[in-house]
Amino acid sequence: MRWIRTLPLSLKLVVLIVGAIAAVAAATAALSQWLSPWTAAAVSALTIGGITAVTVWHTFRPIRALLRALAGTVASYRDGEYNFDIRWDRHADLIELVRAHNELGQTLREQRNALVQRELLLDTVVQNTPVAMVLVDPSGRVVLANLAARRLLGEGHKLEGRAFTSLVEEAPAPMREAMARGGDGMFTIGEADQEEIYHLIRRVFRLNGRAHELLLLRQMTIELRRQEVQTWKKVIRVISHELNNSLAPIASLAHSGAELLRRGQHDKLPVALATIEERARHLEGFLRDYARFAKLPAPRTEPTRLPLFVDKLRIQVDFAIDGSIPDQMVRFDPAQLEQALINLLKNAHESGGAAHEVALGVRRIAEGWRFDVLDRGSGMNEAVLANALLPFYSTKRSGTGLGLALAREIAEAHGGRIALLNRDGGGLCVSMVLPDQA
C-alpha cells in the first residue's frame, strides 16, 4: 500500500470519505438483521466515525510536524542560520513546497558565503590601505578604525568604542584645528625634515537609518614631494623659455646697434637701445619676482599692535572683520605678514564669492595667534587642495602660483604653519598660525 503515501492529500481525503461512507453502508446492512435500522445506522456511524477520526489524525500528524519544521527553519533563517534542510516523502502535493524551501535555504547559504568572502576582502583592503579611516556613530564613538588610523590616532591601540573627541584632544594642534573647522582640508604636522602633510576628507551618510561620519586622513607628503620635483622642472623650463625670449632679441639688437654705429647711422640707435632696455627691464622684473620667493629673508620680528596693523592692511585691500581684532601687541615681521595676508585676501576676492563676504579674523589660541582669511567662493576640490601649497601651482591662466606658497614660507619662517579648509556652506578658510615670539 506504499502507493497510497505518494497520492495527493486531497485524493487521499476523497478515498477516505468514500471508504467511510461505504463502510457505514455495509455495517448498517449487516447490523440491521439484529437491530432496528436507525440503531444499526447510529452504531455503524459512531464506529466508522471514530475509525475515520483516528485515520485523519494519523494522516495529518506528519503535516503538523512538517509545519513545525518549516516554522523552525524560518526562525533559523531570521537568526542568520541557513544550515538546515527538510526531508519529506509522504504527500506528493507537499513535496514541491519542501523542495522550494530547501532550495531557498541553499540559495541563502550561497549568498551568505559570498557575502562573507566579500566582507573579508573589503576588511583586508580597508585595514591595509595607507589612508587612515575612522567611522564615527551619531553618539560620537568610533565604530571602525583601520590600522593606519590606529597608528595615527592611537599609537597602534584599538580605537573602537572610544569617544572620537577624546582622540582629537590628544592629536597634534594642526589636526585639532582641521577637525574643529569641519569640512575637507589640508594641514601639516611637524617641522623641516619631519614635516608630514595630510589631506582630510569628511563625509556623512546613513547606516542602519542613523547618520554616521566617515573621516579619511591621507598622507600627502611623498606625493607632494614628487610633485614638487616636477614643478621645479617646469619652473626651470619656464625660466629658460623666458630668458631665451629676452636674451635672443637683446643679443640681436646689440649686434644691430654695433652695425648701425659702424655705419654711422646714429639716428636708428635710440630705437634699438630702447628695445634692449625694455627687454632687460622685463627680464629683471621677471627674475626679481622669482628671487623674492626663492630668497625670502629671515623674519625681522618686532612688537606690532594688531588694530593698527589691520587698519594699514585695509588701505591696500578691502575686507570685512570676522569677530573683533584684539587690542594687543604681537611680535612678528609686519612687512612679511602684510605681504602674505595681501596675497591671501586677493585670492579670496578672486574666488568667485561676493566681495563683502571676504573677511579677516584674528584670534588668540593656546600656542599663539591665528589669522583666518575667509571667503564664500567655490572652495577647492580634492585635486586643487592637494596641490595648492606647491610653488608655481595655479588654476588661473595668468597666475604665478606663488601667493599661497609664499604665505606658507612666511608662516613657516615664523615657526608657524598654514592650513586650507573648505567651509561649511561653501567657500574657503585659509588659516595661518603664528606662535608666540620670544
Q: For 164-199, write each residue's pLDDT tens digit.
A: 999 988 888 888 888 887 777 778 887 666 778 888
**Among all chains, which residue has been given the C-alpha cell 611623498?**
222
Number of domains in the chain: 4
Length, in residues, of the chain: 438
Mean pLDDT of 377-399: 64
Instruction: For residue 74, give its domain range.
Output: 2-90
Alpha-carbon distance 332 to 371, whole Å?
12
If DSSP codes are grouped into helix, strand and coil, which group holds residue 354? coil
Instruction: List pLDDT tens digits, range 313-366.
Output: 998 899 999 989 999 999 999 988 998 898 899 888 988 888 999 999 999 988
Query: DSSP string of 14-68?
Result: HHHHHHHHHHHHHHHHHHTTTS-HHHHHHHHHHHHHHHHHHHHHHHHHHHHHHHH
| Sequence letter at residue 48 | I
CATH number for position 277: 1.10.287
- 147 and 206 fall within a common domain: yes
Residue position matching grid coordinates 601651482:
393
Asked if residue 341 and residue 381 are part of one domain, the reply reads yes
Final residue of a structural domain among 219, 238, 271 = 219
Q: How far apart are the first and last CA of the chain?
A: 107
pTM of the shown model: 0.47
Position 395 pLDDT exceeds 90: no
Q: Is residue 173 in a domain?
A: yes
Q: How far apart are CA 347 and CA 319, in angstroms?
A: 12
- Strands 320-321, 359-365: parallel, antiparallel or unpaired by DSSP? parallel
Query: Cβ distance 391 to 235 under 8 Å?
Result: yes
Same domain as 314, residue 255:
no
SS3 category, 219: strand
The helix-helix angle for 92-128 and 37-78 (nearest 10°) equals: 10
- The three-state (H, E, C) secondary structure of 284-342, written as one string: HHHHHHHHHHHCCCCCCCEEEEHHHHHHHHHHHCCCEECCCCCCCEEEECHHHHHHHHH
Q: Are 380 and 315 contained in the same domain?
A: yes
- pLDDT tens profile 232-246: 666 666 666 667 767
Are residues 85 and 7 both part of a single domain? yes
421 lies in some domain:
yes
Contacts of 219 (CB under 8 A, 6+ apart): 130, 131, 196, 197, 198
- Describe the strand order of the beta sheet including 185-189 as a list of residue ranges: 142-145, 132-136, 210-219, 196-207, 185-189, 417-422, 428-435, 368-374, 359-365, 320-321
